[in-house]
Structure 1
């Protein structure tokens, strides 16, 4: 009997260790090629151990687990119907199927008692590695750092910045506060090297939000003070020639003027053109859309893409906007699903934050809320779920944060707390 108990204890310790290792490696896994493969193996191993030690059925489900579980299933059903309707291969389901990681990671974080400090240190290491990768790429002659896709790379850095800024340890200690701002500086520098203008502005504007939301109540005085500092930083960047070249800031007005004259072949002009195409497509196919991942076929039909020397925008295969992409490719069902993918986690985190009786739960819920909002903002100029890495990062981080905040969830009906 004692040997059996020792084996059970050893299995539990091993499961906890593997789960913590998976979380600690997550930040680095997101910024290196094939890094999520290692994370996936650790996730499966720790989940098997967690499943064995959990009572069947669980006495208390983590708050929101069933809700996000049904969300993931419903989204996959909608996409599956779309690909069957338009006779597409099952591999088309790949990116959206990663949303199943939300309930999976939420359950694991709750069962294995994942610490928020683990996710914070993981994000710190991820930002340091991202800065090193960006420096290496730029130094070797790469125009824009980003492992092949600078925008996706910049958005991943932005999400890690949110975790470092909002989820960290007690920032009253000077050493912790100094480390946070040092790492934030490295993250912003890495974004500059990617050349992503939207991600840079968003990252700088995160500073006044994090300072104003530092305590339990919103501090408007701090917000406006640091908002002014952020605007000064943006103006300084706009007046630094080397940064203007790297961020292509001097091309914004010419891009807009060229589009108004009928030339969409520029980063900004292409987005305007893609959004118009998506809207027209939605009006023509409001129920079923044209099929997931088929937006690129519309781009191929543009007059400038059927010549021997096609426009640069002809390589774009999606609408560069979440609402436009999902509406054009899957019609009204797709539009409702992308709204739910963002809206339901926002509602869960807001409810958890308001009902929480301790600062730690409020902090975790607040971080989750900002992560989702960052995805919403990034999704205004990018199709976030058209890329496997972006979809995975959203599902994993939202899942872990939901599981952490729901672990010591507050019973909204009785006002009592329960350990999940």
Structure 2
């Protein structure tokens, strides 16, 4: 959130560190990847889809980055998960500090930009939508971490976490990101399931409505956000009359339509990622897309549509599995009876992470860069490991790590 440099290097450092942990630390009783064979098979679909697409196009598309992106997703999640499974579950709570720090860095960044320009903050690390979405997710994780105790000073720790979450949410509002709000009700439902599971159905439903009302009130209090919502509605009406208008909503509709047409033309293997997508988009200049869109966009502003267009139906299935295969694991751990709260916290975080990316990706290419794919894979691996004892040890660690 502070720089666009170094993300790939850190990912490979994480892989090397994970391999070292696998070589040096003892395996848990049920194996490093015990119970995750189905997940591994689901993740492998993405790799198979990319290979099939490249083979169908005789490996001439030059989309090696697409293969690396899929490889990072699979290796990052499985190798890091296997390594983290060898650590003490109590130690796996502390990466949360990095998310809290990132929330403060991002909040200060967007606040300075917003105050300096008087308008929407445009960050260098991501576009405003991606930056705001990640900032919202960090705030949610910090809220859920109220179920973890990291220090001996529980009240002070809780207060710091609440202030951090408020700062992150404030930063998210400043980004004026409209699509991130689609995930807010989902995050609230997960939070209610985490904290109100013993309060009874009526209290849980009441807490959900109160949280939704508070979120709506905060959003409505931002005049800039209200104006962007109103602008979006106005732009949608204009798109019906002049579809090639270069406005935020019309550009998205143009890109989504172009990506869907690419998919329908080659539904089995797609057209190939990278240069083939750009060339195909430019070929629609003046017809399906405007000159500005044809010359300045090389993606579809949607993870599912871009994946379908570039790797076909198998790629689309692979992307859904990358979201929902781990999400299903987290959901089962969250709602299972008799699970210690610390493992349910990790499960709630993981479920929010997977569903958040799935929702964000509908209208934004969250997997635009390698580092975001790597970040998703490693973070999901961390939360799978942190919640693993919910299904095996029921809170009994297998030994301290060094």
Judge same fold: TM > 0.5, yes or no: yes
Per the alignment, residue 278 of structure 2 pairs with: 296
Shift of 1:188: 2.1
Please name the residue that 1:97 is paired with. Answer: 71
- 1:341 matched to 2:322: yes
Q: Displacement of 1:116 after TM fit?
A: 4.2
Correspondence for 1:146: 123
Q: Using a 3 Å threshold, how does the CA distance of structure 1 residues 266 and 32 change in structure 2: closer, same or farther? A: same
Q: Which runs of 5+ in 1 are unaligned?
A: 1-29
Aligned match of 2:37: 66
> Separation in 1 of the partners of 2:23 and 2:396?
25
TM alignment of 1:20-59, pairs within 5 A = 30-37=1-8, 39-40=10-11, 42-44=13-15, 46-55=17-26
Change (3 A) 1:215 1:104: farther
Counterpart residue number, 1:17 = none
Question: What per-residue deviation string (whole Å, max 9, x for no partner) do you get for residues 43-101 of structure 1?
Answer: 24532441232347975234544333333333223212323433123233232222021
Query: 1: CA distance between counterparts of 2:168 and 2:318?
Result: 31
Question: Which residue in the other structure is 1:280 paired with?
Answer: 261
- Give the corresponding residue for 1:88: 61
Q: Deviations over 1:289-334 (max 9, x none)?
A: 1112343333312333899x93257422222223222222222211
Tell me which of 294, 311, 325 is aligned to 2:292.
311
Is 2:164 the partner of 1:191? no
Distance 1:208 1:52 in 2: 40
| Preserved contact between residue 365 and residue 401 of structure 1 (Cα < 8 Å) | yes
Report matched runs for 1:145-224 at 5 Å: 145-147=122-124, 148-170=126-148, 174-200=155-181, 202-203=183-184, 206-207=187-188, 209-211=190-192, 213-217=194-198, 219-224=204-209
Please give the per-residue CA displacement for 1:204-240, whole angstroms capped at 9, x wherever unaligned.
8745752563143561111112212222222222xx2
**Cα distance in 2 for residues equivalent to 1:105 and 1:261:** 50
1:132 correspondence with 2:108? yes
Confirm or deny: 8 A CA contact 1:192 1:200 kept in the other structure: no
Q: 1:287 to 1:336 in 2, by over 3 A?
A: same
Contact 1:131 1:187 in 2 (8 A): yes
**Quick one: distance in 1 between partners of 2:287 and 2:160?**
49
Greater CA deviation, 206-215 or 75-84?
206-215
Deviations 1:96-154 (A, max 9, x none): 22202111221222112363431221111010111122234445548533225222222
**1:103-114 counterparts in 2 under 5 A?**
103-113=78-88
Question: What CA deviation, in whole Å up to 9, does each residue of 1:6-42 have, x standing for no partner?
Answer: xxxxxxxxxxxxxxxxxxxxxxxx5422242563365
Native 8 Å contact 1:212 1:223 kept in 2:
no
Any stretches of 5+ residues in structure 2 without a counterpart?
Answer: none
| More relative contact order, 1 or 2 (CA 8 Å, 6+ apart) | 2
- The TM-score with structure 1 as length reference comes to 0.79
Whether contact under 8 Å (1:105, 1:396) holds in the other structure is yes
Cα shift at 1:379: 1.4
Q: 1:137 to 1:416 in 2, by over 3 A?
A: closer
Q: Contact 1:31 / 1:156 at 8 angstroms: preserved in 2?
A: no
How many equivalent pairs are there? 382
RMSD of equivalent CA atoms: 3.3
Do structure 1's residue 123 and structure 2's residue 105 form an aligned pair?
no
Counterpart selection for 1:381 from 363, 374, 383 = 363
Q: Is 1:410 matched with 2:388?
A: no
Taking the aligned partners of 1:416 and 1:111, their CA distance within structure 2 comes to 15
